[in-house]
């Protein structure tokens, strides 16, 4: 079974990115460090062609640091520069800018259109929804130049941002692949908040997260919500979440949807511990 979420503005954005590549010196692709494989859009490969590429493993402060190092090593072995970042604090952003500038200078070729007044290198910042593209650009520019949000789809149109006298960035809308056939990828995208909340079941997502946290030995959620060690059923564990957070409906029934939403949001913000959903 395949899953699809591909609003019209995304299809238009892909076409615009392809057209913009003749002006671009280097591509910066933003991924979520907790699931680099799932948050990579392979549609970009055709759009960017052979342009130099820098991979940003954003939200590294929420990921397992050992796993993040493994991902950096994996990209390095493939000849790709990968830099962990935390755009909330700015950690790693300067390193990305330096790597992008170096790649742009080294990879500039005759296909790049440079007018007589062209003094800045140009980058395109790409990524799927809610991985932190706009936050990265704001940190790079050292000021709020683009709108950010904790939901997918905040950026709807491309825009050029001047970072400094040597560098200019093209901010683009978050673009999902036209179709996702891997249930593991779909789960990761939902867990990280890259999908619109209307297209997945939050209770199923929450129980899946509980199972995943148990499988990697992250037990912080148990003490946070009062889930005993003997409780191994994710659905029963979610009931503990509901009771501990007072999620009740009429007639004393547990509000499981509200409890699931609390758990998912706590996971996304790192309150359940630093977790990586997939390894290289």
Q: Percentage of residues in the chain with pLDDT exceeding 90?
A: 61
Instruction: Supply the pLDDT for residue 152.
Output: 44
Place 120 in a pLDDT band, splitting at 50, 70 and 90: confident
Q: How confident is the model at residue 117 (pLDDT cuts 50, 70, 90)?
A: very low
**Spatial CB neighbours of 25, under 8 Å, sequence gap ≥ 6:** 51, 52, 103, 104, 107, 108, 112, 121, 122, 123
Q: Is the pLDDT of residue 227 over 60?
A: yes
Task: Establish how many alpha carbons lie within 13 A of residue 214's alpha carbon, considering only the half-sphere containing its beta carbon.
Answer: 18
> What mean pLDDT do residues 197-215 have?
95
Domains by residue range for the chain, with CATH = 8-171 (3.40.50.300), 201-268 (1.10.1580.10)
Give the pLDDT score at 10. 63
Confidence category of residue 151, pLDDT binned at 50, 70, 90: very low
Higher pLDDT: 152 or 278? It is 278
pLDDT score recorded for residue 238: 98
> What share of residues in the chain are helix, strand, coil (percent, to 5)?
45, 15, 40
Length of the chain: 280
Q: Could you read off the pLDDT of 239-268 as tens digits, one per residue?
A: 999 999 999 998 889 999 999 999 999 999
């Amino acid at each position: 079974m395949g899953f699809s979420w591909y609003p019209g503005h995304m299809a238009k954005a892909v076409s615009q990115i392809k057209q913009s590549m003749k002006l671009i010196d280097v591509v910066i692709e933003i991924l979520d460090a907790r699931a680099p494989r799932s948050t990579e859009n392979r549609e970009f490969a055709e759009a960017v062609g052979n342009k130099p590429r820098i991979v940003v493993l954003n939200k590294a402060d929420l990921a397992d640091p050992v796993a993040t190092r493994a991902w950096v090593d994996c990209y390095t072995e493939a000849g790709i520069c990968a830099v962990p970042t935390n755009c909330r604090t700015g950690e790693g952003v300067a390193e990305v800018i330096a790597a992008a500038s170096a790649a742009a200078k080294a990879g500039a070729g005759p296909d790049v259109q440079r007018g007589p007044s062209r003094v800045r290198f140009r980058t395109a910042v790409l990524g799927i929804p809610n991985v932190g593209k706009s936050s990265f650009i704001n940190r790079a520019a050292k000021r709020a130049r683009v709108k950010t949000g904790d939901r997918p789809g905040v950026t709807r149109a491309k825009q050029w941002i001047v970072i400094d006298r040597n560098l200019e960035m093209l901010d683009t809308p978050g673009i999902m692949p036209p179709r996702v056939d891997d249930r593991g990828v779909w789960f990761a995208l939902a867990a990280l908040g890259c999908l619109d909340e209307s297209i997945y079941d939050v209770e199923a997502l929450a129980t899946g997260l509980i199972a995943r946290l148990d499988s990697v030995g992250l037990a912080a959620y148990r003490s946070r919500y009062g889930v005993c060690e003997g409780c191994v059923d994710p659905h029963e564990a979610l009931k503990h979440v509901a009771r501990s957070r007072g999620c009740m409906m009429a007639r004393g029934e547990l509000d499981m949807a509200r409890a699931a939403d609390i758990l998912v949001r706590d996971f996304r913000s790192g309150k359940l511990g630093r977790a990586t959903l997939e390894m290289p």
